[in-house]
Amino acid sequence: MFNSFGNIFRLTSFGESHGKGVGGVIDGFPAGIVIDEEFVQQELNRRRPGQSILTTARKEADKVEFLSGIFEGKSTGCPIGFIVWNENQHSNDYNNLKNVYRPSHADYTYTVKYGIRDHRGGGRSSARETISRVVAGALAKLALRQLGINITAYTSQVGPIKLEGTYSDYDLDLIETNDVRCPDPEKAKEMADLIYKVKGEGDTIGGTLTCVIKGCPIGLGQPVFGKLHAALGNAMLSINAAKAFEYGEGFKGLKMKGSEQNDVFYNNNGRIETHTNHSGGIQGGLSNGQDIYFRVVFKPIATLLMEQETVNIDGIDTTLKARGRHDACVLPRAVPIVEAMAAMTILDYYLLDKTTQL
């Protein structure tokens, strides 16, 4: 149950970190969309491990294999099945985790809920599950591209190091020019140095990703229980290690008066627009045609390569020092995942909007 995401555009994912592979089935994808498999692979490459010294050293090609739903380079409207085979598991690295619970990890809750857990890499709770999301999100991006909708995410904070401006203050073309995926080269170096330092200590660190959606039409969203910002929040908070979501001014807006935060309308040569965009492109749960922007906070990853106190499966106090290959900071590899979840949400709600009026 609950391994599916979406309403009309719907992804059902399967697989575990140290199983044979990770994959999914996409239903409701429109027919006739040109499927650029090279683009899909590029999106996976942005997520895969071992891409820099800042990420886990696990080496996986993460080559996607499509099984159905594509004919002569286009979607057929039938279910799109795909799989990415696991090739570089080091399951023995996790043997010392078999009978203990990692602090702040899903080890304990999975064991209590199911009575069994796959300790090898965390099984289904591993972020390797997000491979399916990136593939589905890449396909959603290809469909949204035809509609003129573009989605971009970037690292805006690592620990105490943060960008002070908004997305409009930076050249977003610079995001992929550094390992941290930050549009400010100087801040990116500071962030990378901090991640590398923390990694050397066997510790981890968190931060924030910012995402902007441009070209979204007016009216996407399904009040009252399917508001667009709620759908985006649900999508983002389903990602491993995500702890908070805010859109528009978010908590910063608490310091403003209504007269300061309201987005005043004006007539721009026959088109109704607003002078500001404090609302983050969404009003009343519906997109208003302005840029949609939001932030997602990710916690420091729970698995540390340093000694921690914990308990074993018998409830006896003990200590644990994890082994293996782990990220010190999830943010650089989470960028394509955030974009993927946003793309799936927007495409799904675009298709839902087509049912509003005959």
Residue 127: predicted pLDDT: 87
HSE at residue 255, side-chain half, CA atoms within 13 A, is 3
Q: Are 95 and 85 within 8 A, CB to CB? A: no
Asked if residue 103 has pLDDT above 60, the reply is: yes
Asked if residue 294 has pLDDT above 70, the reply is: yes
Tell me how far apart the terminal alpha carbons of the chain are, to the nearest angstrom: 33
Residue 88: predicted pLDDT: 64
- The reply, when asked if residue 125 is annotated as ligand binding, is yes
Peptide bond into 224 cis (omega under 30): yes
- The reply, when asked if residue 234 is annotated as ligand binding, is no
Angle in degrees, 0-180, between the axes of helices 37-47 and 130-146, rounded to the nearest 10: 140
Kindly report whether the global pTM for this prediction surpasses the value 0.75: yes
Q: Are 137 and 334 within 8 A, CB to CB? A: no
- The reply, when asked if residue 156 is annotated as ligand binding, is no
- The reply, when asked if residue 47 is annotated as ligand binding, is yes
Q: Which of 94, 89, 102 is nearest to 118 (CA)?
A: 94
Q: Are 203 and 334 within 8 A, CB to CB? A: no
Amino acid at 184: D
Phi, psi for residue 115 in degrees, rounded to 5: 80, 5
Q: Are 49 and 333 within 8 A, CB to CB? A: yes
- The reply, when asked if residue 325 is annotated as ligand binding, is yes
Asked if residue 94 has pLDDT above 70, the reply is: no
Asked if residue 91 has pLDDT above 70, the reply is: no
HSE at residue 27, side-chain half, CA atoms within 13 A, is 8
Q: Which residue has the tokens 């289904």?
A: 124
Asked if residue 92 has pLDDT above 70, the reply is: no
- The reply, when asked if residue 301 is annotated as ligand binding, is yes
- The reply, when asked if residue 303 is annotated as ligand binding, is yes
The mean predicted confidence, pLDDT, of the chain is 92
DSSP state of 10: E
Question: Residue 223: how many CB atoms within 10 A of its CB?
Answer: 11
HSE at residue 348, side-chain half, CA atoms within 13 A, is 25
Residue 93: predicted pLDDT: 59
Query: DSSP letter string over 293-316?
Result: EEEEEEPPPS--SS-EEEEBTTS-
**pLDDT classification of 358: cutoffs 50, 70, 90:** confident
- Nearest-angstrom CA–CA distance, 39 and 41: 5
- Nearest-angstrom CA–CA distance, 211 and 232: 11
- The reply, when asked if residue 271 is annotated as ligand binding, is no
pLDDT tens per residue, range 230-251: 999 999 999 999 999 999 999 9
| Helix%, strand%, coil% for the chain, nearest 5 | 35, 25, 45
- The reply, when asked if residue 302 is annotated as ligand binding, is yes
pLDDT tens per residue, range 318-335: 998 877 667 899 999 999
Q: Which of 357, 304, 342 is nearest to 102 (CA)?
A: 304
Asked if residue 89 has pLDDT above 60, the reply is: no
Domains of the chain: 2-352 (3.60.150.10)
Residue 326: predicted pLDDT: 78
**pLDDT classification of 18: cutoffs 50, 70, 90:** confident
pLDDT tens per residue, range 138-178: 999 999 999 999 999 999 999 999 999 899 999 999 999 99
Report the percent of the chain where pLDDT is more than 90: 76
